[in-house]
Amino acid sequence: MASPTDQDRLYFKQLLSGRDFAASDVIAQQMRNFAYLIGDRETGDCVVVDPAYAANDLLDALESDGMHLSGVLVSHHHPDHVGGSMMGFELKGLAELLERVSVPVHVNTHEADWVSRITGIPLGDLTSHEHGDKVAVGDVEIELLHTPGHTPGSQCFLLDGRLVAGDTLFLEGCGRTDFPGGNVDDMFRSLQALATLPGDPTVYPGHWYSADPSAPLSVVRASNYVYRASNLDQWRLAMGG
């Protein structure tokens, strides 16, 4: 698990698309994505998680707090997380952000090709990672967890008692497995792996699909229907397999 950081030093913001940024974007309003800003207040370093909409809004927000962007963390390749074509609209996402500032874009190695195809960003401009790799943001250490199922290279981010879960685990439900690259069995294994994380981290999902925007993992395990299946056969049956 990621090592603890002084909470006064940790900079962490959960921002809702269509409200906290991209306020006039109808797709952002409809999709209800969360973006996250994670940084070290002492050094000013900051990363953004999943900047699909209004990248300039996100950059302005962190810069107004005295932070500077040092990288991007990508949970997975879908356009509502990184930009690209969606529902007849073109989301500028990562491409727009990189026009303003040149920073590393951290993706799982199994997702790199997908991210490149969706966003148009050259594969060589992406920084690929394996499960368990760590990204340092100042003195804040973020552990990258490979959690396939929603997509082949979906990843979650673990730091200081927080699990930024992308579309792998919501407070109610989990990411769909019927999109290209999705896999029902992989999703079961990923959810079970997250359930065993020590320290009861707070789950911060990729979308606001529940009453609360975050909750302790113990609460999610107890209340989320995805944890009712105790084995793979039960899970396949529950998922229509």
Residue 224 lies in a domain: yes
* DSSP type of residue 17: B
Residue 4 lies in a domain: no
Task: Note the pLDDT of residue 4.
Answer: 59
Residue 5 lies in a domain: no
Specify which residues 155 forms β-bridges with: 146
| pLDDT of 241 strictly over 70 | no
How many separate domains does the chain show?
Answer: 1
Tell me if 193 sits within 8 A of 148, measured CB to CB. Answer: no
| pLDDT of 151 strictly over 90 | yes
Say which CATH number the domain at 172 has. 3.60.15.10
Task: Note the pLDDT of residue 2.
Answer: 54
Strands 202-205, 162-166: pairing kind: parallel
| pLDDT of 232 strictly over 60 | yes
| pLDDT of 3 strictly over 60 | no
Task: Note the pLDDT of residue 240.
Answer: 84
d(CA 130, CA 224): 28
Residue 147 lies in a domain: yes
- Tell me the per-residue pLDDT of 160-186, one tens digit each, with 9 for 90 and over: 999 999 999 999 999 999 999 999 999
- R_g of the chain, CA atoms, integer Å: 17
Task: Note the pLDDT of residue 90.
Answer: 83
- Tell me the per-residue pLDDT of 100-139, one tens digit each, with 9 for 90 and over: 999 999 999 999 999 999 999 999 999 999 999 999 999 9
Residue 89 lies in a domain: yes
d(CA 194, CA 163): 9
Residue 108 lies in a domain: yes
Residue 2 lies in a domain: no
Domain hosting 117: range is 10-238
Residue 1 lies in a domain: no
- Tell me the per-residue pLDDT of 39-98, one tens digit each, with 9 for 90 and over: 999 999 999 999 999 999 999 999 999 999 999 999 999 999 999 987 777 899 999 999
pLDDT (mean) for 214-235: 97
Evaluate if pTM is beyond 0.85. Answer: yes
